[in-house]
């Protein structure tokens, strides 16, 4: 075997070893980060840098009596309500 081929084989083996070590170290770092997050009460939202909106919760205007799912009347009409209306019910039948 040529010297070049031997070196290429050594490089491949070292790269494989390096990847294994990287995966082990990454797993340990992730475990350490999770432990610190629990210890200090840090959430994913805290890490994202986004600020939480201070808006209020909108009360439900409509409720499915079968599933208990609710809709505030804002945004896209939920599937359960669309299906009920398509089946002949009125939206007002689900008013809270």
Tell me: the pLDDT tens digits for 32-90?
999 999 998 988 888 876 655 655 678 999 999 988 999 999 999 999 999 999 999 99
Domain total in the chain? 2
Residue 54 lies in a domain: no
Look at the pTM and tell me if it is higher than 0.75: no
* CA proximity to 81, closest of 10, 96, 54, 31: 96
Residue 74 lies in a domain: yes
User: Are both 35 and 67 inside the same structural domain?
Assistant: no
Residue 34 lies in a domain: yes
CA distances from 20 to 1, 10, 16 (A): 27, 15, 6
């Amino acid at each position: 075997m040529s010297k070049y081929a031997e070196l290429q084989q050594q490089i491949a083996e070292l790269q494989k070893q390096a990847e294994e070590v990287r995966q082990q170290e990454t797993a340990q770092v992730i475990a350490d980060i999770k432990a610190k997050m629990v210890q200090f009460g840090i959430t994913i939202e805290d890490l994202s840098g986004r600020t939480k909106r201070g808006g209020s919760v909108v009360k439900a205007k409509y409720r499915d009596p079968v599933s208990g799912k609710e809709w505030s009347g804002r945004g896209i009409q939920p599937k359960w309500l669309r299906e009920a209306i398509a089946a002949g019910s009125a939206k007002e039948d689900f008013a809270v």
